[in-house]
A and B are shown apart, each in its own frame.
Chain A
Amino acid sequence: MTMKTKKLLLGDEALALGAINAGLSGAYAYPGTPSTEILEFVQCNDVAKSRGIHSHWSSNEKTALEEALGMSFCGKRAIVSMKHVGLNVAADPFVNSAMTGAHGGLLVISADDPSMHSSQNEQDSRFYASFAMMPALEPSSQQEAYDMGTYGFSLSEELHLPVMIRMVTRLAHSRAVVETDENPENENELAYPANPRQWVLMPGNSRVRYRELIAQQADLERLSEESKFNRFQEGSNRRIGILVSGIAYNYVNECFPDGCPFPLLKISQYPLPRNMVAKLADSCDMVLVVEEGQPVIERGLRGLLDRGVSVRGKLDGTLPSSGELNPDNVAAAIAALVPDMKKQLLKASPEPAKIVAPRPPALCQGCGHRDVYAALNAALEEFPSPKVFGDIGCYTLGWLAPYNAIDTCVDMGASITMAKGAADAGQHPSVAIIGDSTFTHSGMTGLLDAINENTPMTVIISDNLTTGMTGGQESQGTGKIEEICLGLGVSPEHLMTIDSLPRNHAEMKTLFQQEFSYKGLSVIVSRRECIQTARRHAKK
Chain B
Amino acid sequence: MKTDIILAGVGGQGILSIATILGAAALRDDLYLKQAEVHGMSQRGGDVMSCLRISSTPIASDLIPTGAADLIVSLEPMESLRYVQFLSPTGWIVSNTVPFVNIPDYPAINDVINELERRDNVIAFDMDATAKEVATQRSSNMVLLGAASTLIDIPTEKIENGIRTIFAAKGEKMVESNLAAFRAGRLRAQHREQ
Contact = CB atoms under 8 A, between A and B. Distances in A.
Q: Do A and B come from one complex?
A: yes
Interface of A: 6, 8, 33-34, 36-37, 117-118, 170-171, 173-177, 247, 250-251, 253-254, 257, 326-328, 331, 347-353, 355-364, 394, 397, 401, 469-471
Contact of A174 (B11, B36, B46, B111): B36
Contact of B35 (A37, A175, A362): A175
A170 B39 contact: no
Contacts of B145: none
B60 A254 contact: yes
A118 B10 contact: no
Contacts of B115: 353, 355
Contacts of A328: 65-66
A175 B19 CA distance: 10
Identify whether the interface residues of A are mostly helix, strand, loop, or mixed.
Answer: loop
Given A175-B23, A250-B60, A362-B46, A349 B86 contact: yes
A176 B78 contact: no
Interface of B: 10-11, 19, 23-24, 27, 32-47, 59-68, 78-79, 81-82, 84-87, 89, 102-107, 111-112, 115
Given A8-B33, A359-B45, A469-B41, 4 more contacts: A173-B37, A174-B35, A347-B65, A347-B67
B46 A359 contact: yes
A257 B57 CA distance: 11
Contacts of B36: 170, 173-175
B40 A357 contact: no
Given A355-B115, A361-B46, A174 B39 contact: no
A356 B82 contact: yes
Contacts of A350: 67, 84-85, 87
Contacts of B61: 250-251, 253-254, 326-327
A247 B82 CA distance: 25
A326 B63 contact: yes
Contact of A362 (B45, B64, B66): B45
Contacts of A353: 81-82, 84, 115
21 contacts: A33-B40, A34-B40, A118-B42, A174-B62, A175-B23, A175-B34, A175-B35, A176-B62, A177-B27, A254-B60, A257-B60, A326-B65, A352-B84, A353-B82, A356-B82, A359-B103, A361-B42, A361-B43, A361-B46, A362-B44, A362-B45
A175 B37 contact: yes
Contacts of A117: 38, 40-42
A176 B27 CA distance: 9
Nearest to B103: A359
B65 A118 contact: no
Contact of A250 (B42, B62, B111): B62
A242 to B, nearest CB: 14
A150 B110 CA distance: 56
B98 to A, nearest CB: 15
B45 A364 contact: yes
A138 to B, nearest CB: 15
Nearest 7 CB-CB pairings of A with B: A349-B67, A118-B40, A33-B40, A361-B46, A253-B60, A254-B61, A361-B44
Contacts of B39: 33-34, 36-37, 118, 173, 471
Contact of A173 (B23, B38, B59): B38
B120 to A, nearest CB: 10
A119 to B, nearest CB: 8
Nearest to B76: A359
Given A34-B39, A355-B78, A362-B45, A170 B62 contact: yes
B45 A176 contact: no
A251 B32 CA distance: 17
A235 B189 CA distance: 47
Nearest to A470: B40
A359 B102 contact: yes
Contacts of B103: 357-360
Given A177-B32, A359-B10, A361-B46, A171 B84 contact: no
Nearest to B32: A177
A177 B24 CA distance: 10
B78 A356 contact: yes
A360 B46 contact: yes
Contacts of A175: 19, 23, 33-37
A33 B34 contact: no
Given A34-B40, A328-B66, A361-B41, A355 B33 contact: no
A8 B35 CA distance: 10
Contacts of A253: 60-61
A240 B41 CA distance: 39
Contacts of B60: 250-251, 253-254, 257
A253 B62 CA distance: 11
